[in-house]
Amino acid sequence: MALPLYYNWRNLFVRKLSTSLTFAVVATLVLVLCVLLSFAAGIRASLAVSGWPQNVLVLKPGATAESTSIITPDEKGRVVQAPGIAHGADGKMLISEELCTQTSIPRRAGEHNMANVAVRGVDATAFGVHPEVKIIEGRRFEPGQLEVIVGKAARDRFDNLGIGGEVRLGRQGNRLYKVVGVFETGGGAFDSEIWGGRTQISDSFNRHFISSAVLRLDDAAEAAAAISYLNGPFVALESKRETEYYEDLSKTTRDIVALTTVLIAIMSIGAAFAVANTMYAAVDGRRREIAMLRTIGFGRGAIILSFVTESLLVCMTACLFGLAGAMFFSGTRQDFLSNSTWTVLAYELKITPTIALGSLGLACLVGVIGAIAPALRASRVHVIEALRKA
Partner 1 sequence: MHLRLIYLYRNLTRNKQRTLLTCAAVALPMVIYVLSTAVVSGVDAFLDNSARQLRLAVTHKASIINMLPEGYALKIKSLDPTGERLRAACGMRWIGGKMQNVTQPLSTVAVDAEEFIKAFDDFKLTETEKAAWLRDHQAIIVGRGTAAIFGWKVGDRISIRSSVPPYTSLEFHIVSTAEHAQDANTNWCHRSYYEEDLKKNIPEATQGMVSFFFVKCGSKADLDFFRVEIDKLFARTIDETKTQDEKAFMNEFITQQFDLPRNLTILSIVTVFVAVMAATNTMSMNFRDRFNEYATLKALGFGGGYVFTLIQTESLGLCLLGGIFGALMPYVAFMHTPLGRVPVPVIQHLEIRPIVCLHAIAIAAVIGLIAAVWPSVLALRLKVVAALRNLE
Number of residues binding to partner 1, judged by CB under 8 A: 61
Beta carbons of 290 and 305 less than 8 angstroms apart: no
Q: Is residue 239 exposed (0-12), middle (13-18) or buried (19+ Cβ within 10 Å)?
A: buried
Which position among 80, 225, 236, 337 is part of the footprint of partner 1 (CB under 8 A)? 337
Q: Does position 347 bind partner 1 by CB under 8 A?
A: no
Write out the binding residues for partner 1, residues 107-136 only, by CB under 8 A. Answer: 113-116
Q: Does position 7 bind partner 1 by CB under 8 A?
A: no
Q: Does position 231 bind partner 1 by CB under 8 A?
A: no
Which position among 339, 382, 385, 388 is part of the footprint of partner 1 (CB under 8 A)? 339
Q: Does position 195 bind partner 1 by CB under 8 A?
A: no
Nearest Cα to 119, choosing from 101, 139, 144? Answer: 101
Nearest Cα to 153, choosing from 328, 346, 373? Answer: 346
Q: Does position 146 bind partner 1 by CB under 8 A?
A: no
Q: How far is the CB of 22 from partner 1 (least distance, A)?
A: 6
Nearest Cα to 291, choosing from 220, 386, 204? Answer: 386
Beta carbons of 285 and 12 less than 8 angstroms apart: no
Instruction: Compare residues 28 and 199 and give the one whose CB is closer to partner 1.
Output: 28
Q: How far is the CB of 287 from partner 1 (least distance, A)?
A: 13
Instruction: Compare residues 134 and 251 and give the one whose CB is closer to partner 1.
Output: 251
Alpha-carbon span 337 to 299, nearest angstrom: 59
Q: How far is the CB of 230 from partner 1 (least distance, A)?
A: 16
Residues 278-297 as x/- pattern, contact with partner 1 by CB under 8 A: x-xx--xx------------
Q: Does position 202 bind partner 1 by CB under 8 A?
A: no
By DSSP bridging, strand 175-184 and strand 147-151 are parallel
Write out the binding residues for partner 1, residues 20-39 only, by CB under 8 A. Answer: 21-22, 24-25, 28-29, 32, 36, 39
Q: Does position 236 bind partner 1 by CB under 8 A?
A: no
Instruction: Compare residues 64 and 83 and give the one whose CB is closer to partner 1.
Output: 64
Alpha-carbon span 32 to 38, nearest angstrom: 10
User: Using CB under 8 A as the criterion, which residues of the chain lie in contact with partner 1 when the complex forms?
Assistant: 15, 17-18, 21-22, 24-25, 28-29, 32, 36, 39, 60-64, 67-68, 70, 101-104, 113-116, 168, 170-173, 205, 248, 251, 255-256, 259, 263, 266-267, 269-271, 273-274, 276-278, 280-281, 284-285, 335-337, 339-340, 342, 344
